[in-house]
Amino acid sequence: MTMQPGRLFVISAPSGAGKTTLVRRVIEARGDLKFSISFTTREPRVGERDGADYFFVSQQAFDRMRDDGAFLEHAQVFGKCYGTGRQQVHDLCAAGHDVLLEIDWQGARQVMTNDPDCLSIFILPPSMQELERRLRGRQTDSETVIARRLAEATGDMGHWREFDHVVVNDDLDRATADLLAILAGQSTTTGTDDPGTAARVTRLLAGSA
**Cβ–Cβ < 8 Å for 157, 149:** no
* Closer by beta carbon to ligand 5GP, 67 or else 193: 67
Pick from 6, 10, 38, 131 the residue near ligand 5GP by CB under 6 A: 38
- CB nearer to ligand 5GP: pick between 147 and 199: 147
106 binds ligand 5GP (CB under 6 A): yes
Q: Give yes or no for residue 42 binding ligand 5GP (CB under 6 A).
A: yes
Minimum distance from CB of 59 to ligand 5GP (Å)? Answer: 15
157 near ligand 5GP, rule: CB under 6 A: no
Is residue 66 close enough to count as binding ligand 5GP by CB under 6 A?
no
Cβ-in-10-Å burial (0-12, 13-18, 19+) of 112 comes to buried
83 binds ligand 5GP (CB under 6 A): yes
Beta sheet of 98-102, edge-to-edge order: 33-35, 98-102, 8-12, 119-124, 165-168
Residue 22 phi/psi, 5° resolution? -60, -45
Beta-carbon contacts of 40 under 8 Å, excluding residues fewer than 6 positions away, are 54, 55, 56, 57, 62, 80, 81, 82, 83
Residues near ligand 5GP (CB under 6 A):
38, 42, 73, 75, 77, 82-84, 102-104, 106-107
